[in-house]
Amino acid sequence: MRVLAVSAHPDDLELLCAGTLAKFKSQGAEIFMSYLCNGDKGHFEIPSPELAKIREREAKNSAKILGAQILGGLFPDLDVYPDKERREKVVELIRIARPDLIITHSPDDYMCDHTITSRLVIDASFIATLPNYKTKQEAHTLISPIIFMDTLAGVDFIPTEYVDITDFIDVKEKMLSCHESQCKWLKEHDGIDYIEFMRKVASFRGLQCGVKYAEGFRNYSVWGRIKPKRLLP
Ligand SMILES: [Zn+2]
């Protein structure tokens, strides 16, 4: 099983699906963690190029904990659009990972990098299977099923799938903690304790499905993407 998780920013996957990725990994899956934007805008003082490097290092540290491959930082923050150039890059990314399953943002999450990432992944994952759409990599052979991650703080998101991550909450926390610059930024810019924020949502999703900690998801249910079995661990 090959799982490609695509977020907008370097820390989104840790917040929204790292417990599930860790569970997948424990069952032998190969994990690709991808973020389209390089995270270069989230700080008061550190200039963008320097910040992008810090964010990349933090993402790598996190991926190392999981034993996942990183494919990311294609565009600056807020420079992701549903246009041809960017879509082609996401097609290439999907052709490199060749996923059996893609996890990405909900199409109606809270800000444009997230919603456009979702759009690009949906479109590119279909295009990635077309041999006549030429990129450096060969076409993927599967129109990958897509599963949407929770929205930020679970707002207006009713999961249809839950993953019990009780055994993986510590790994999730450790991975999220790797994003030190972001923990600091959210504290200073938004007054948020990032770890507590993550644990509250995991605890609430757990409450909904009768376990201590869970992550919530929704299937992207359109023709060609539906499988007659549960895809999440
Ligand atoms: Zn984000």
* Residues, Cβ < 5 Å to ion ligand 1: 8-9, 12
37-65: per-residue pLDDT in tens? Answer: 999 988 888 899 999 999 999 999 999 99
Indicate if the pLDDT at residue 158 is higher than 90: yes
Ligand 1 centroid, distance to 8 Cα (angstroms)? 5
Contacts 24+ apart (CB under 8 A), 180-185: 180/58, 181/42, 181/43, 181/46, 181/51, 181/54, 181/55, 181/58, 182/10, 182/11, 182/39, 182/42, 182/55, 182/58, 185/42, 185/43, 185/44
Domains in the chain, CATH or no CATH each: 2-219 (3.40.50.10320)
Distance CA 54, CA 72 (A): 13
Q: Taking Cα atoms as reference points, which of 59, 84, 62 lies closest to residue 73?
A: 59
1-15: per-residue pLDDT in tens? Answer: 999 999 999 999 999
Ligand 1 centroid, distance to 57 Cα (angstroms)? 17
pLDDT for residue 42: 82
Ligand 1 centroid, distance to 150 Cα (angstroms)? 12
Ligand 1 centroid, distance to 131 Cα (angstroms)? 32
Ligand 1 centroid, distance to 30 Cα (angstroms)? 23
pLDDT for residue 198: 98
Tell me the pTM: 0.97
Q: Assign 104 a pLDDT band (cuts: 50, 70, 90).
A: very high
Ligand 1 centroid, distance to 81 Cα (angstroms)? 15
pLDDT for residue 121: 98
Ligand 1 centroid, distance to 4 Cα (angstroms)? 17
Range 183-192 average pLDDT: 91
